[in-house]
Amino acid sequence: MLAGGRAPWFFDLPGAGAELPGSRVWGMPGAAVHAGRKDWAMTEQPRRPVATYETYQEAERAVDHLSDQGFPVERVAIIGQDVRLVEQVVGRMDYGRAALHGAASGALPGALIGWLFGLFDWVDPLVSALLVALYGLIFGAIVGALFGLLLYALQGGRRDFASVRSMQPSRYDVVVDEAVADEAVRLLGGLQATGVGGRTAPT
């Protein structure tokens, strides 16, 4: 017990108030002991690209090759560059298709919710779950169809087509910590000699 009858705090312990160099957190003494370790763990090592590929599959194969050669792959990253939005039109949209898409999107959640509620019947949970899941599927499809019709009507004919959006990088860079980058370049040079696409990044 300290003066005043209070129990000792953490900051009252010897050395608890010591700060590590460059690790102050909002000027709070003592907290810097833990913050120094956190800052060290979150510090990124200098990296540089060692190879560039046109597809993700090629970049993935390059990293897999490094792993097979015993390279420390935890020091590797695949970075997509020059990302662009691609919207692929898949067909026309009208009231019928809007209702169909809405019913399809609402049927599965309705069946899942019905299945979960049906499991609470302790007498015959399997039959109850299947029956309530069927009711949930029908109810979810109806609600989804109505919701799809409502959304399509609110658009006022401004978007009479259905599409799928995706993000597509134009290339994929394999980047490695600077300390082991030369070793990665050497190993990937052997992979490219086997005919795999991609090119070594300039050093």
pLDDT band at 159 (very low <50, low <70, confident <90, very high): confident
Q: What percent of the chain has pLDDT over 90?
A: 32
What is the distance between the terminal CA atoms of the chain, rounded to a whole angstrom?
A: 63
Choice between 86 and 5, residue whose per-residue pLDDT is larger: 86
Q: Span 120-136, mean pLDDT?
A: 76
Backbone angles phi, psi at 23, to 5 degrees: -130, 30
**pLDDT for the residue 146:** 92
Q: Span 55-74, mean pLDDT?
A: 94
Lowest mean pLDDT among 17-31, 74-88, 171-185: 17-31
Run of H or E including 110: helix 95-118
pLDDT exceeds cutoff 70 at 202: no
Give the closest residue to 34 by CA, choosing from 55, 48, 21, 20. 20
DSSP result, 22-62: T--STT-TTTHHHHHHHHHHHPPPPEEEEEEESSHHHHHHH
> What are the residues whose beta carbons fall under 8 Å from the beta carbon of 201, sequence distance 6 or more?
48, 49, 50, 51, 52, 173
pLDDT exceeds cutoff 90 at 96: no
pLDDT digits (tens, 9 = 90+) for 189-200: 877 644 445 565
pLDDT exceeds cutoff 80 at 32: no
pLDDT digits (tens, 9 = 90+) for 69-78: 999 999 999 9
**pLDDT for the residue 91:** 82
Q: Span 64-86, mean pLDDT?
A: 93
Lowest mean pLDDT among 48-57, 83-92, 108-117, 194-203: 194-203
- Angle at alpha carbon of residue 123, lines to 117 and 128, rounded to 5°: 40
